[in-house]
Amino acid sequence: MSAEAPVVDLSVKIGDLTLANPVSTASGTFGKGLEFRPFYDVSRLGSVVVKTITTEPREGNVPPRLAELPAGLLNSIGLANPGVDEYIRTYLPKLRTLGAPLVINIAGHSVEDFGTLTARFAKEEGIAAFELNMSCPNVASGLDYSTDPVVAREVMDRVRGETDIPLIAKLSPNVTDVRPIAEAVVAGGADAISAINTLVGLAIDWRKRRPILGRAYGGVSGPCIKAVALRIVRQLYETVDVPIVGIGGIQDADDVMEFILAGASVIQVGTANYYRPTAALDILEGLPERIASLGASSLREIVGTLEMP
């Protein structure tokens, strides 16, 4: 950070949790955080979100799992992860050394399983918040938890019953209207909503008459989805009274300013981590002067202040 950087309060709250700044990492795009240590001091981030963890270990989907798109990426990883027991034994101790608040992202294969996973992690030290992956398009039933308000509410009720740790519900853009789902998760006790997960897409190798991905459909991320993400963040901001975590094609601090004005209090850097490992830090360093240029001395002052026609 330059010596002349203006003093701007970047802190944000999610439930009882105070984050020093709004910059976080999107689940699945930041390894276990440890891989980024050679590039910068990860403890400077407001929080770090880990790749989704499930009850049982998962190999993930049949390859190929990734396809490059113009201005984006199509993935069908299939929630590959070592499962909760191995995760707690092997990885959690290392993650506790990251220095940034740790957000554990979990996905259940049923409402009950969401509760069981939460209970298992809630006994562990050093977890700042849970992000509930209710919106993975790449596993059977993965989308069911954020496409039906009744089911979304059931997940939240079940998880809320297990912990007082702040809960962030990660919602899907693959719905006609995200607002009823958002109202349902907030009624069920969500402390924040993160949006958006990926948009369902298809990449084709026409010469082979085949989809490029092994499982055909995947989730689109990257700059090509930013406008969709901004629209949904704005709709969420106008609908619910909890912090919004904005995700979708964020590459730089200017993108983040757009998300903040739309209504995001926290943002996650995702696909950009793959091609610019310092993206999250660069964003953090670019925010104070941009916020100050709007005449504000804190991030909170400008959240949602987009002037809509």
Told to check if 25 binds ligand SIN by CB under 6 A, we report no
| Among residues 25, 138, 265, 268, the one that binds ligand SIN under rule CB under 6 A | 138
Give the C-alpha separation, 47 to 128, whole Å. Answer: 9
Span interacting with ligand SIN, options 71-79, 116-124, 207-215, 289-297, rule CB under 6 A = 71-79
H/E run at residue 85:
helix 84-86
Site string for ligand SIN, 93-122 (x = CB under 6 A): ------------------------------
133 in contact with ligand SIN (CB under 6 A): yes
Tell whether residue 163 is a contact of ligand SIN (CB under 6 A).
no
Asked whether the beta carbons of 130 and 154 are under 8 A apart, the reply is: no
54 lies in the binding site for ligand SIN (CB under 6 A)? no
- Selected range binding ligand SIN among 2-10, 130-138, 274-282, 300-308, rule: CB under 6 A: 130-138
Please tell me whether residue 173 binds ligand SIN under the rule CB under 6 A. no
136 catalytic per annotation: yes
Q: Which stretch binds ligand SIN (CB under 6 A): 134-142, 179-187, 243-251, 266-274?
A: 134-142
Nearest distance, CB of residue 60 and ligand SIN, angstroms: 7
In the window 203-232, what residues touch ligand SIN (CB under 6 A)? 219
Distances (CA, A) of 248 to 43, 184, 211, 280: 23, 22, 24, 13
* CB of 66 or CB of 119, closer to ligand SIN: 66
CB-based contacts of 213: which residues, under 8 Å, 6+ apart? 61, 64, 65, 66, 67, 74, 76, 203
Contact assessment for residue 236 and residue 182, using Cβ atoms and an 8 Å cutoff:
yes
Closest to ligand SIN by CB, 173 vs 288, is 173
Active-site residue, selected from the candidate residues 136, 184, 244, 281: 136
Using CB atoms within 10 A of its CB, is residue 308 exposed (0-12), middle (13-18) or buried (19+)? exposed
Instruction: Please tell me whether residue 197 binds ligand SIN under the rule CB under 6 A.
Output: yes
Residue number with CB closer to ligand SIN (52 or 235): 52
- CB nearer to ligand SIN: give 60 or 99: 60
- In 3D space, the residue among 221, 57, 191, 183 whose CA is nearest the CA of residue 131 turns out to be 191
Query: What is the C-alpha separation between 183 and 240, in angstroms, rounded?
Result: 6
* Token reading at 289: 């002067």
State yes or no: cis peptide before 247, omega within 30 of 0. Answer: no
Cβ-count burial 197-214 (b if 16+ within 10 Å, e if not): bbbbbebeeeeeeebbbe
Contact 73, 14 (CB under 8 A): no
Is 146 an interacting residue with respect to ligand SIN (CB under 6 A)?
no
Is residue 28 part of the contact set for ligand SIN (CB under 6 A)?
A: yes
The smaller minimum CB distance to ligand SIN, of residues 22 and 78, is found at 78
Looking at beta carbons only, is 40 or 274 nearer to ligand SIN?
A: 274
Asked if 78 touches ligand SIN (CB under 6 A), the answer is yes
Q: For residue 212, what are the contacts with CB-CB under 8 A and spacing of at least 6?
A: 64, 67, 74, 203, 204, 205
Among 136, 167, 262, 287, binds ligand SIN (CB under 6 A): 136
Taking a C-beta distance cutoff of 8 angstroms, is the pair 230, 248 a contact? yes
Positions annotated as catalytic residues are: 136
**Binding residues for ligand SIN, per CB under 6 A?**
28, 52, 75-79, 133, 136-138, 197-198, 219
